[in-house]
């Protein structure tokens, strides 16, 4: 779910990811990227909004970008949308 300063959002409850984001900032990170693909994009936005509104002070949204990724599935290659939300200390 997590590599350095990046939280990958999947199908777990949103609070799992909120906790991961908050923990990274509490451990001294200046920047955390929240990433997701496909249907998990909505949960990534929830993660950012809940983290900022309820748990983080002095942190803001630096950048939000979306893109299309080509992924390999068992039925061949397909396109999927992805999002990256960058939160930074302000």
- Binding-site ranges for a second copy (CB under 8 A): 38-42, 45-46, 48-49, 53, 61, 64-68, 79, 81, 83, 85
- Give the strand pairing for 6-8 and 31-37: parallel
Min dist. Cβ of residue 79 to a second copy (A): 8
Are the beta carbons of 47 and 7 closer than 8 angstroms? yes
Min dist. Cβ of residue 54 to a second copy (A): 9
Nearer to a second copy (CB atom), residue 28 or residue 59: 59
> How many Å apart are CA 90 and CA 51, to the nearest integer?
15
Nearer to a second copy (CB atom), residue 61 or residue 89: 61
Are the beta carbons of 14 and 46 closer than 8 angstroms? yes
Residue with tokens 């080509």, as numbered in its chain: 70
Nearer to a second copy (CB atom), residue 23 or residue 42: 42
């Amino acid at each position: 779910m997590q590599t350095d300063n990046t939280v990958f959002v999947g199908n777990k409850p949103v609070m799992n990811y909120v906790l991961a984001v908050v923990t990274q900032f509490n451990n001294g990170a200046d920047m955390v990227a929240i990433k997701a693909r496909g249907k998990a994009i909505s949960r990534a936005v929830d993660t950012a909004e809940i983290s900022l509104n309820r748990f983080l002070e002095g942190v803001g949204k630096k950048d939000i970008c979306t893109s299309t990724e080509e992924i390999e599935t068992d039925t061949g290659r397909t396109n999927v949308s992805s999002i990256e939300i960058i939160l930074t200390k302000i």
